[in-house]
Amino acid sequence: MAGNSNQRFEAIEEPMGGWMVWDNARDFPAEFGEIVLVGLTGSTASEMTEILNDAAKRRPKAQPSRHARSEVIALHLRRSEG
């Protein structure tokens, strides 16, 4: 199911209308900590894809850093406040 992207992660629309983040290196849905990134909104999938690809560029053979996780938490907190 991996896409034609040269990026490690990409946002893919699911058959039922939700979105997921696909990990092209693992050929499996991406995980963030212990959370499988499926059933997302399009904007959340896009934002997670950008954050994970940025983290993968900085640390190509490691899991996303704690800094990337903090960015996602802060993003969701800002969205829930506004």
pTM above 0.85, yes or no: no
> If you average pLDDT over residues 3-12, what whole number do you get?
83
Strands 19-23 and 9-13: antiparallel
Domain segments of the chain as ranges: 9-81
Confidence band for 57, pLDDT divided at 50, 70 and 90: confident
Confidence band for 1, pLDDT divided at 50, 70 and 90: very low
CA distance 49 to 10: 6
